[in-house]
Chain A
Amino acid sequence: MNILQILLLSLFVAFIVLRLLGRRQTASRFARWALMGLGAVVVLAPFTWLAAAVFKDRSVLNEYIFLPPVEQWSEKTLNLNNFRELFKGRPSLTGPVYFWEYVLNSTVYATCTTVLQIFFCSLGGYALAKYEFRGKNALTLFMLGSMMIPSVLLLAPLYKMVVDLGLVDSLAGLIIPGMVGTYGIFLFRQACLAVPNEMIDAARLDGCGEFGIYLRLVMPLVRPMAAAFCLICFLGNWNAFFAPNVFLHSQDKLTLPVVLNLYLGEFRHDQGVFLTGTALAMIPPAVLFFALQREFISGLTSGAVKG
């Protein structure tokens, strides 16, 4: 018997005792809390393990589950060697490449795509929601149909297209095809539908231009959707792997997920290094998530649930 087994067993026994005492309400409340707590432990354990692993020396990475006991703490067990090794310049065909360059590439890629997507998708979504124009129904049908095509099908011909346009092996080759998306246009269309027509007509009477109406009237009103979409888009691009892995070749142009996947093989015998890179790559999405959390969950489910 170990601590974990004793803990699980005692939780179970406590539940049975409560049931036998006839306290059904208390018993089910207790069981609910215990199950949620156990679930949370299972979810958080790998993160905790990772947070400890980045500071452990390679010689003790596997020796202790989490941190070594306090009396063992020393420069030999806990140090910043993983970070030093990770930030060291690594030779490539184009000279030494540093880890911060990958961070920069990922940041540029995810930020540019997100900003452009928010602009183009909200513009398109507003046009679909608030104008009646020739060809609108056909366009909407086309967009719905295009969402059913899985993106993997298009990757091989898209790669060919990017090569033909001379955009291969550059961040532009990733950003330009990803500047606008059907899903984003539909999300913004939903949000724009809620803007009252009277407001738009009033602004028009007051002499506001069509783009001015979009920029100064509609955009402020759909800000919650923009925040949710910002996070969805940033997360997707920050973690994107398939397209960057295919489109980028030079070492100094790679993004974080691509390079970390390479490090998995390169540092097979010094796992702390790629684990540290992985931990660092988790920070920006987490920060953005905590900033935009409330909008995010409602944005994620709005399309699915209200229908």
Chain B
Amino acid sequence: MSGKVSQRPVRPPGRPRYKGKAPYLFLSPYIVLTAVFFVVPFVNAIMLAFYETNGPRSRVFVGLDNFVFLFTDPIFQRALLNTTVFALASVFIQLPLSMALALLLNSGGDKVKGFFRLVFFSPNLVGQVLVGILFSVLFTPRYGLVNRGFQMVLHWGLEARWLSEPRLIMPAIVLTSLWLWVGFNMIYFLAALQTVDKTLQEAARIDGASPWQIFWHVTLPSMRHVVIFVVIMSVIGSYQLFELPLTLLSESYGYGANDAGLTLITYLNYNAFRCGDLGLGSAVGWVVATIIFIISLVQIRLGRIAEED
């Protein structure tokens, strides 16, 4: 999860191995609970993916059929496409906005910073379900706050059917996610900006670099660890998107018209827990886990390459 955590535990010099049982006792709740609620389900998750199940109790071995079914199912492909589009929007729209806000805030005084940080972070107290419920009303054609806001500023959108027109469903989900998460990632960027060496920026400024050049060549490289961390976390989060579309598009269980709002986890939830095929759900889980794993590896590798340059 964090940079410091990833260090190998180093034995302090001269500190002898503790002989008593205390550390085992202290860790026993974790060990027992993890064995029962993590290791066993994990092994089961491997097995379940090769079974067709009907509810938690009956199952038939089907080999790789679940995976074959998934990759030939046009609905699953749609879910994969939608989720990828959302992940791209998170990285290329949401994170730059977070960074811009962090830069804006960073140049203000401490009091100002504290106040706006609080305001921009506040949507995160609410949680995805409540935000989705709130925005499902804000997107009402003709009357919704979002529709009226667009009409007032752009003279467009009063009648926009955000949540029923396939073309507008993904933009509506992205807009809601921006409102929710721009402030969240801003906190990380803001904290990182405060650790950037001010003398380097000052030196670049004296050498005649423009503010944009200073940001691109001095500030951004020196906070790259946090940037990589935030990008990986948002991609992981994006591939697990579920509650926002579910509540925004509640009439179709989160699928939306033409499956325009369908995400991988919505697909998993519907097939595993509504239709009872836990095996198919598990197979979807493995696909999501594999995607997340590959993308994280690629990003960590890219980060290393950037470091060596």
Measured CB to CB, the residues of A under 8 A from B are 2, 4-5, 8, 32, 35-36, 39-40, 42-47, 49-50, 53, 62-63, 65, 120, 123-124, 126-128, 131-134, 136-137, 139-140, 144, 146-150, 152-161, 163-164, 176-177, 179-180, 182-183, 185-186, 189-190, 197, 210-211, 214, 235, 238-239, 241-242, 245-246, 257, 260-261, 264-265, 271, 274-275, 278, 281-282, 285-286, 289, 293, 297, 300-307
Contacts and interface: CB of A to CB of B under 8 A. Distances in A.
Give me the 4 closest cross-chain CB pairs, A-B, nearest first.
A307-B3, A239-B127, A303-B2, A157-B44
Nearest to A47: B122
Please indicate which of the listed interface residues A8, A147, A157 has the most CB atoms of chain B within 10 Å of its own CB: A157
A36 to B, nearest CB: 5
Nearest to A40: B119
Contacts of A177: 33, 36-37
A264 B129 CA distance: 11
A238 B38 CA distance: 22
B130 A257 contact: yes
Interface in B275-307: 278, 281-282, 285-286, 288-289, 292-293, 296
B130 A39 contact: no
Nearest to A140: B9
Contact of A123 (B29, B128, B152, B247): B29
Nearest to B133: A278
Contacts of B8: 137, 140
B15 A161 contact: no
B278 A211 contact: no
A55 to B, nearest CB: 15
B182 to A, nearest CB: 9
B140 interface: yes
B190 to A, nearest CB: 8
Given A161-B41, A180-B29, A282-B126, A32 B107 contact: yes
A305 B137 contact: no
B29 A179 contact: yes
Nearest to A164: B56
A147 to B, nearest CB: 6
